[in-house]
Amino acid sequence: MIGLLVKLVSTRLLKAAGDAFEFIWRNPLPCIIAGLVALSGWLWWQDSRHIEQRDKALAEVAEMKDAIEAADKLAQEEKARKEQRNKELNDEADTRTADTRIVYRDRILRATAPSCSAGKADLPGTVIPEGIDRSGDPPVCISRADALIFADNQSRLEAAHDWAIRLGIH
Protein backbone atom coordinates (compact mmCIF):
# COMPACT_ATOMS: atom_id res chain seq x y z
CA MET A 1 0.00 0.00 0.00
CA ILE A 2 2.80 2.44 0.92
CA GLY A 3 4.67 1.48 -2.24
CA LEU A 4 1.60 2.32 -4.33
CA LEU A 5 1.23 5.68 -2.56
CA VAL A 6 4.93 6.52 -3.16
CA LYS A 7 4.62 5.55 -6.82
CA LEU A 8 1.50 7.69 -7.22
CA VAL A 9 3.08 10.76 -5.54
CA SER A 10 6.38 10.43 -7.40
CA THR A 11 4.54 9.99 -10.72
CA ARG A 12 2.45 13.11 -10.11
CA LEU A 13 5.51 15.10 -8.99
CA LEU A 14 7.40 14.06 -12.08
CA LYS A 15 4.45 14.99 -14.29
CA ALA A 16 4.11 18.41 -12.54
CA ALA A 17 7.85 19.07 -12.90
CA GLY A 18 7.72 18.09 -16.54
CA ASP A 19 4.76 20.43 -17.12
CA ALA A 20 6.66 23.29 -15.36
CA PHE A 21 9.75 22.77 -17.52
CA GLU A 22 7.60 22.65 -20.64
CA PHE A 23 5.92 25.95 -19.66
CA ILE A 24 9.32 27.56 -18.99
CA TRP A 25 10.62 26.28 -22.33
CA ARG A 26 7.70 27.75 -24.25
CA ASN A 27 7.53 31.08 -22.28
CA PRO A 28 11.10 31.99 -21.30
CA LEU A 29 10.76 35.79 -21.02
CA PRO A 30 7.86 35.88 -18.52
CA CYS A 31 9.57 33.14 -16.48
CA ILE A 32 12.83 35.06 -16.41
CA ILE A 33 11.01 38.24 -15.33
CA ALA A 34 9.08 36.34 -12.65
CA GLY A 35 12.34 34.76 -11.42
CA LEU A 36 14.09 38.14 -11.28
CA VAL A 37 11.17 39.66 -9.38
CA ALA A 38 11.20 36.75 -6.92
CA LEU A 39 15.00 37.02 -6.54
CA SER A 40 14.91 40.78 -6.00
CA GLY A 41 12.15 40.37 -3.39
CA TRP A 42 14.21 37.76 -1.56
CA LEU A 43 17.30 39.97 -1.72
CA TRP A 44 15.34 42.98 -0.45
CA TRP A 45 13.99 40.91 2.43
CA GLN A 46 17.53 39.71 3.31
CA ASP A 47 18.86 43.27 3.05
CA SER A 48 16.10 44.63 5.31
CA ARG A 49 16.97 41.99 7.91
CA HIS A 50 20.61 43.02 7.77
CA ILE A 51 19.68 46.69 8.00
CA GLU A 52 17.62 45.97 11.13
CA GLN A 53 20.52 44.04 12.65
CA ARG A 54 22.95 46.80 11.73
CA ASP A 55 20.67 49.47 13.21
CA LYS A 56 20.32 47.43 16.40
CA ALA A 57 24.11 47.02 16.64
CA LEU A 58 24.65 50.75 16.01
CA ALA A 59 22.12 51.58 18.73
CA GLU A 60 23.98 49.32 21.16
CA VAL A 61 27.29 50.94 20.22
CA ALA A 62 25.76 54.39 20.77
CA GLU A 63 24.49 53.31 24.20
CA MET A 64 27.94 51.99 25.08
CA LYS A 65 29.56 55.24 23.96
CA ASP A 66 27.10 57.22 26.08
CA ALA A 67 27.80 54.99 29.08
CA ILE A 68 31.55 55.35 28.58
CA GLU A 69 31.26 59.12 28.28
CA ALA A 70 29.14 59.29 31.43
CA ALA A 71 31.61 57.10 33.33
CA ASP A 72 34.51 59.18 32.04
CA LYS A 73 32.77 62.38 33.11
CA LEU A 74 32.18 60.96 36.59
CA ALA A 75 35.80 59.83 36.81
CA GLN A 76 37.03 63.27 35.74
CA GLU A 77 34.78 64.96 38.30
CA GLU A 78 35.99 62.61 41.03
CA LYS A 79 39.60 63.20 40.00
CA ALA A 80 39.10 66.98 40.03
CA ARG A 81 37.41 66.77 43.43
CA LYS A 82 40.27 64.70 44.87
CA GLU A 83 42.88 66.98 43.33
CA GLN A 84 41.13 70.01 44.82
CA ARG A 85 40.93 68.31 48.23
CA ASN A 86 44.60 67.34 48.05
CA LYS A 87 45.52 70.90 47.04
CA GLU A 88 43.58 72.27 50.00
CA LEU A 89 45.23 69.78 52.35
CA ASN A 90 48.63 70.53 50.84
CA ASP A 91 48.15 74.28 51.23
CA GLU A 92 46.98 73.80 54.80
CA ALA A 93 49.94 71.50 55.51
CA ASP A 94 52.33 74.07 54.01
CA THR A 95 50.84 76.79 56.20
CA ARG A 96 51.04 74.61 59.31
CA THR A 97 54.59 73.58 58.38
CA ALA A 98 55.63 77.21 58.05
CA ASP A 99 54.00 78.09 61.38
CA THR A 100 55.55 75.12 63.18
CA ARG A 101 58.94 75.82 61.58
CA ILE A 102 58.83 79.37 62.98
CA VAL A 103 58.00 78.05 66.44
CA TYR A 104 60.87 75.54 66.40
CA ARG A 105 63.36 78.08 64.99
CA ASP A 106 62.37 80.61 67.66
CA ARG A 107 62.94 78.01 70.37
CA ILE A 108 66.37 77.17 68.94
CA LEU A 109 67.41 80.81 68.57
CA ARG A 110 66.24 81.70 72.12
CA ALA A 111 67.98 78.78 73.77
CA THR A 112 71.09 79.39 75.87
CA ALA A 113 74.49 77.73 75.24
CA PRO A 114 75.18 74.42 76.95
CA SER A 115 78.58 73.22 77.94
CA CYS A 116 79.44 70.38 75.60
CA SER A 117 82.56 68.29 75.51
CA ALA A 118 85.53 69.69 73.61
CA GLY A 119 85.47 69.27 69.86
CA LYS A 120 81.66 69.16 69.68
CA ALA A 121 79.62 71.87 68.04
CA ASP A 122 77.67 73.91 70.56
CA LEU A 123 74.15 75.05 70.18
CA PRO A 124 74.39 78.56 71.58
CA GLY A 125 71.67 79.50 73.96
CA THR A 126 70.47 75.97 74.77
CA VAL A 127 70.14 74.87 78.36
CA ILE A 128 69.77 71.14 78.87
CA PRO A 129 68.12 70.46 82.21
CA GLU A 130 69.54 67.71 84.36
CA GLY A 131 67.68 64.41 84.28
CA ILE A 132 65.80 65.11 81.04
CA ASP A 133 67.52 62.15 79.40
CA ARG A 134 66.50 59.16 81.48
CA SER A 135 69.27 57.01 80.05
CA GLY A 136 71.83 58.76 82.24
CA ASP A 137 74.06 59.38 79.24
CA PRO A 138 75.55 62.83 78.78
CA PRO A 139 73.57 65.18 76.52
CA VAL A 140 74.33 65.35 72.79
CA CYS A 141 75.14 68.77 71.39
CA ILE A 142 74.38 69.65 67.78
CA SER A 143 75.18 72.67 65.69
CA ARG A 144 72.68 75.45 65.18
CA ALA A 145 72.42 74.58 61.44
CA ASP A 146 71.60 70.96 62.31
CA ALA A 147 69.05 72.09 64.88
CA LEU A 148 67.38 74.30 62.26
CA ILE A 149 67.32 71.34 59.84
CA PHE A 150 65.73 69.30 62.62
CA ALA A 151 63.12 72.03 63.12
CA ASP A 152 62.26 72.03 59.40
CA ASN A 153 62.04 68.25 59.24
CA GLN A 154 60.00 68.01 62.44
CA SER A 155 57.49 70.55 61.15
CA ARG A 156 57.18 68.64 57.84
CA LEU A 157 56.71 65.36 59.70
CA GLU A 158 53.96 66.82 61.87
CA ALA A 159 52.19 68.27 58.82
CA ALA A 160 52.40 64.92 57.00
CA HIS A 161 51.06 63.15 60.08
CA ASP A 162 48.10 65.56 60.32
CA TRP A 163 47.41 65.14 56.61
CA ALA A 164 47.41 61.34 56.90
CA ILE A 165 44.97 61.52 59.80
CA ARG A 166 42.63 63.75 57.77
CA LEU A 167 42.77 61.31 54.86
CA GLY A 168 41.91 58.45 57.22
CA ILE A 169 45.31 56.78 56.96
CA HIS A 170 46.30 55.77 60.47
Q: What pLDDT, on the 0 to 100 scale, is given for residue 68?
A: 95
Give percent of the chain with pLDDT exceeding 90. 15
pLDDT over threshold 80, residue 66: yes
- The answer to the question of residue 30 being in a domain is no
Q: What is the pTM of this model?
A: 0.44
- The answer to the question of residue 139 being in a domain is yes
Range of the domain at 143: 47-167
- Strands (DSSP E) contained in 85-146 are none
- Ramachandran area for residue 169 (φ above 0: left; ψ -120 to 50: alpha; else beta): beta
Quick one: CA torsion of 65, 67, 70, 75, rounded to 10 degrees?
-100
- The answer to the question of residue 112 being in a domain is yes
Spacing of C-alpha 165 from chain mean position:
25
- pLDDT tens for each residue of 128-147: 555 455 566 666 677 778 87
Residue 72 binned pLDDT confidence (cut-offs 50, 70, 90): very high
Q: How many domains does the chain have?
A: 1
Other Cβ atoms within 10 Å of 138 Cβ, number = 10
CA–CA distance, 112 with 108 (Å, rounded to integer):
9
Higher per-residue confidence, 55 vs 125:
55
CA–CA distance, 127 with 135 (Å, rounded to integer):
18
